[in-house]
Amino acid sequence: MIETGDWRLESNEPPPISNLQSPVSPMARERTFRTEAIVLRRTDFGEADRLLTLYTRDYGKLKAIAKGARKPQSRKTGHVELFMRTQFLLAKGHDLDVITQAEMVESYAALRDDLVRTTYAAYVVELLDRLTVEEGQHLSLYNLLSDTLARLAAADDLRLVTRYFELRLLGQAGFQPQLFTCLSCDEPIQEQDQFFSDELGGLLCPNCHAADRHARPITAVAVKVLRYLQTRPWETVHSLQLKRPLHHELETIMHGYIRHILERDLKSVDFLHRLRREAALFTDKD
């Protein structure tokens, strides 16, 4: 657990991440090229094909056709499922690249065997899809996605994994919430309840609530946890044990901020809320 005495240790501004916010120029693609990728989305295309949205290690996000992938005898079957990490051989096309070979590297099978884990994984890939553009290479994002899917397949606290992913993704995408100084008066945030402004992108102290009347209250302990997740590696934060009300508060704050950025709700969030309402069985798992 985070001790109250850690507040002062957390009060220093986190190191800048501007070197992570701008993707590296994508590698030039040959007529045929290999890359490792994770399947973000797939849709039926034509009579037997699949249209895939991939997040690749070397070329960022791209769309590709897996010809014949819906045929039972296809060699691609079982290698191009959602969330899978796969080694691809692709051929450049005029509009879409074509997958000529696919060999699964990591299946993350638990993400398809458990409905709650499936839903959290769907949220993670949907959020990354919404916050990234095509063909912007970003190796650290690829590693973050791969690591997060592995954690979702094995961890008990799926909410903690997801909050960590959200904060890291938002930071790398240029939307890191300000958690250390008031966005209105620029004074350091003190150890007391604050307000979170979606519009301004972070905290307002109690004296500056008028800067955004729509800013929502956030408890001091929630601020502390968000800071901890934002500035510490997963190996340090994974052992945190948070009570359900605190998890709910953190999720409400993060989902509200993300909704403001995207100007829309994510389908996976709506489905997760429906699961919780309709099946009390899942509440002990999420």
Distance between start and end Cα atoms, the chain = 19
**Residues with Cβ < 8 Å from 25, sequence gap 6 or more?**
137
Mean confidence (pLDDT) of the chain:
86
**Low-confidence residues of the chain: pLDDT under 70:** 1-30, 68-78, 279-286
What are the structural domains of the chain?
4-17+111-284 (1.20.1440.120), 32-108 (2.40.50.140)
Q: What is the pLDDT of residues 215-273, one digit of tens each?
A: 999 999 999 999 999 999 999 999 999 999 999 999 999 999 999 999 998 999 988 88
- How far apart CA 184 and CA 173 sit, in angstroms, is 23
CB atoms within 10 A of CB 199: 11
| pTM, rounded to two decimals | 0.86
pLDDT at residue 276 in the model: 81
Q: What confidence score (pLDDT) does residue 275 get?
A: 83
Angle formed at CA 187 by CA 165 and CA 233, multiple of 5 degrees: 25
pLDDT for 212 equals 97
